Amino acid sequence: MSKIQQAQDIFSAIVHAPFGAVGVRTAGGLVTEMFYLPASAGEKAPTDPVAERAAEQVLRYCADADFPFDLPLARVGSEYQRRVWDELCSIPRGQVRTYGELAKHLGSVARAVGQACRANAFPLVVPCHRVTGTQGLGGFAGDDNQTGFTLSVKRWLLAHEGHREYAWQQATLL
């Protein structure tokens, strides 16, 4: 079975976005996970009302960075991870915080914040792309080599949201 066919089988919807695609998984009336996928994953029409709602909201966000997500998300993660994710949601569009800044605010350490960001099951809705390293982008969705696909997604998202450092790059990333 090809990777494209596997993607078609495991997701409730696959939505094309300017940076690639977003795979959405749903169960029991909740969004259970969202993944960044390359455009080659192909689109998949939503298979249920929650997937349809998620797909519509992904497209609306891609058209307007100020669009507020309102999705029924599955309650996942540890108490600490949820605290980190709540902090991510409080970072205003167009701004970033470092892993260290979030850690200090939470009375934690930067590595633990990074691990919570990596475990984020809803990276577009819970904006972990708004967290950077002290020396630059840092990792994203487990991609720490500064050249991978997910870091190009992070750059696009930051530019889309009007972050000054990345806004000039948006035209070249489309």
Secondary structure of residue 63 in the 3-state scheme: helix
Both tokens assigned to 133: 């390293």
| Rounded CA separation 167/25 (Å) | 30
Contact 90, 127 (CB under 8 A): no
Cβ pair 44, 6 in contact under 8 A: no
Catalogue the active-site residues.
128
